[in-house]
């Protein structure tokens, strides 16, 4: 502590003679620990104040570097550069910006050297300027596109424009918009990107827009790195291939199952004959065709190891698609069934591997039997997570998976005696038997919705999730399970689109 105080005193003595309104902050609590005469006289910034007290708004380091801030004392506009001078202590260097030039300053100084591609627009969508990374990705120079309309330069689709218009009110209230889309470069090729639109505010008025572009390849790489931490030591073998069917990842279990080294898989394609089933050759030949039609296949197969021996396995193969319905990943999982009893195998294949809820097919099979025995007053609830796609797009699929697991736990705790299943993606289904009255069913669903209002803490951050539901009742809404599911699904989407809070 004494050494730190000595260092801070030395810094104070250094900056006090620099003739600029400099100050030093502690990034742990944003308290100002060193100041200068000019920071006190010109900006009203003193030792002991917090940044929020000094600048009149709640400010973090990243916000400080990326925004023009209006000083409450003299109404001047300032940009800030920061340099870490000691661990967790930053020297802050304010720069005065003329009100008419602050968007220009953002484009030419604040964002110009950032590693992500950025463009600054005025409130009408006209380009004020772009940074070096934007020039590198899109091929346009700053001078070529300056003063042009961004949507004309990058050839926005009608879908993109409709999406932005739909969320315009949210944006005007100061919230960010994030979309997944393609953008056209100067040379005519299109790039899949994650695009963030962030309003630039002066007080509460939007005076410009910061648009950030992140190519999908980079996002996919980040997601893959995150998933590797989870599946590297998973008990099932896992293969992941890119959109060209080139294998890009295998986990340790898969290498042990097939007795190949992981580097040998790098030379293989996803549908390589070396990975195909031994006794299911017809299915192996048809697998690619099945995936294009259904996106998913699972079944018991016999797999050939490198030494020629075979083993029984439960195999699941599926594809991951982007927002334009194009395949971006091929995934296969292998569960070694050697020594597994028939009863245990049945349990494994009837459970969703992520949430441990029943699978869609198991739910359908069970409900077919229930409806045959007693077709009256059987109730099926269809449940969907609101805005789940946006959550995934903004935070990554790893967070989405964690949310699905947490929601499933809440369902298990709340609907203890009801048959439950993960239907698909972020959709779930629940059966309420005719022993449960309609009033009691609605009461249970209402209570679950209230329970969902409590924040879910994922990786230390709170997330509030809302759900939409639809309830179908036999025989009025259908006489078999597929009719009931279809009716419940349609009711759910009606409730979601009309913002109704009722479940009937």
Kindly report, residue by residue over 366-415, the tens digit of the pLDDT: 999 999 989 999 999 999 998 888 887 777 777 888 889 889 989 998 99
pLDDT mean across residues, the chain: 78
> What CATH code would you report for 360-498?
3.30.70.270
Say if CB 458 and CB 416 are below 8 A apart.
no
Same fold, 102-215 and 360-498: no
* pLDDT-derived band at 131, boundaries 50, 70, 90: confident
Report how far residue 195's alpha carbon sits from residue 393's, in angstroms, rounded to the nearest whole number: 10
As a whole-number percent, the residues of the chain with pLDDT over 90 amount to: 15
pLDDT digits (tens, 9 = 90+) for 138-179: 999 988 988 888 888 887 766 556 656 665 665 566 566 777
The arrangement of strands across the sheet holding 177-184 comes to: 127-130, 117-122, 205-215, 190-202, 177-184
Q: Give backbone dihedrals phi and psi of 333, rounded to 5 degrees, phi first.
A: -120, 145
With 70 as the cut, is the pLDDT of residue 298 above it? yes
Supply the pLDDT for residue 363. 93
Question: Buried b vs exposed e over 317-334: b needs ≥16 C-beta within 10 Å?
Answer: bebeebeeeebebbbbbb
Q: Could you tell me the fold of the domain covering 232-346? A: Beta-Lactamase (3.30.450)
* Identity of the highest mean pLDDT range in 167-171, 262-266, 422-426: 422-426
Beta bridge partners of 310: 304
- pTM over 0.85, yes/no: no
| 313 three-class SS | strand
Q: How far apart are CA 411 and CA 400, in angstroms?
A: 16
**CATH superfamily membership of 2-97:** PAS domain (3.30.450.20)
pLDDT band at 428 (very low <50, low <70, confident <90, very high): very high
What pLDDT band is residue 99 in, cutting at 50, 70 and 90?
very low
Domain ranges of the chain: 2-97, 102-215, 232-346, 360-498
Between the alpha carbon of residue 87 and those of residues 4, 83, 205, 273, the distances in Å are 10, 11, 36, 55
| Polymer length of the chain | 504
pLDDT given for residue 484 in this prediction: 95
Provide the CATH topology of domain 102-215. Answer: Beta-Lactamase (3.30.450)
Q: Taking the CB of residue 353, how many other CB atoms lie within 10 A of it? A: 14
Q: Higher model confidence: residue 16 or residue 462?
A: 462
The whole-angstrom separation of Cα 445 and Cα 432 is 11
Kindly tell me the sign of the dihedral angle through the C-alpha atoms of 218, 157, 154, 184: positive
């Amino acid at each position: 502590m004494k050494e730190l105080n000595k260092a801070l005193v030395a810094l104070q003595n250094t900056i006090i003679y620099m003739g600029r309104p400099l100050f030093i902050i502690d990034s742990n609590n944003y308290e100002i620990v060193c100041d200068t005469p000019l920071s006190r006289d010109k900006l009203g910034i003193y030792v002991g104040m917090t940044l929020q007290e000094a600048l009149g708004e709640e400010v973090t380091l990243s916000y400080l570097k990326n925004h023009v801030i209006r000083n409450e004392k003299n109404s001047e506009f300032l940009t800030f550069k920061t340099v870490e001078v000691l661990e967790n202590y930053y020297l802050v260097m304010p720069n005065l910006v003329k009100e008419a030039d602050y968007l220009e300053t953002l484009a030419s100084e604040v964002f110009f050297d950032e590693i992500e591609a950025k463009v600054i627009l005025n409130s009408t969508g006209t380009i004020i300027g772009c940074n070096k990374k934007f020039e590198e990705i899109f091929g346009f120079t700053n001078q070529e596109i300056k003063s042009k309309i961004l949507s004309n330069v990058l050839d926005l689709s009608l879908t993109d424009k409709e999406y932005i218009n739909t969320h315009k009110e949210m944006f005007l209230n100061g919230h960010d918009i994030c979309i997944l889309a393609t953008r056209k470069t100067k040379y005519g090729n299109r790039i899949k990107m994650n695009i963030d639109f962030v309003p630039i505010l002066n007080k509460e008025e939007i005076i410009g827009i910061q648009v950030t572009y992140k190519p999908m390849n980079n996002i996919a790489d980040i997601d893959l790195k995150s998933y590797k931490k989870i599946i590297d030591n998973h008990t099932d073998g896992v293969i992941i291939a890119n959109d060209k069917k080139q294998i890009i990842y295998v986990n340790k279990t898969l290498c042990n199952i097939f007795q190949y080294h992981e580097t040998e898989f790098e030379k293989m394609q996803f549908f390589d004959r070396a990975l195909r089933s031994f006794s299911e050759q017809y299915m192996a030949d048809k697998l690619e065709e099945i995936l294009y039609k259904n996106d998913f296949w699972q079944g018991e197969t016999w797999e050939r190891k490198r030494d020629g021996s075979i083993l029984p396995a439960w195999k699941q193969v599926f594809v991951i698609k982007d927002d334009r319905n194009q395949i971006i990943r091929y995934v296969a999982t292998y569960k070694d069934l050697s020594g597994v009893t028939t009863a245990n195998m049945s349990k494994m294949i009837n459970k969703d591997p992520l949430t441990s809820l029943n699978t869609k097919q198991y739910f359908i099979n069970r409900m077919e039997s229930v409806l045959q025995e007693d077709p009256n007053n059987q109730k099926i609830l269809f449940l969907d997570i609101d805005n789940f796609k946006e959550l995934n797009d903004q935070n990554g699929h790893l967070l989405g998976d964690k949310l699905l697991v947490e929601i499933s736990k809440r369902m298990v705790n709340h609907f203890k005696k009801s048959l439950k299943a993960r239907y698909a993606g972020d959709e779930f289904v629940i059966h309420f038997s005719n022993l449960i009255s309609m009033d009691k069913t609605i009461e249970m669903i209402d209570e679950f919705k209230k329970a969902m209002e409590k924040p879910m803490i994922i990786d230390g951050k709170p997330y509030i999730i809302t759900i939409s539901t639809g309830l179908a009742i036999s025989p009025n809404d259908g006489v078999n399970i597929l009719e009931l599911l279809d009716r419940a699904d349609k009711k759910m989407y009606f409730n979601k689109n009309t913002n109704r809070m009722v479940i009937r």
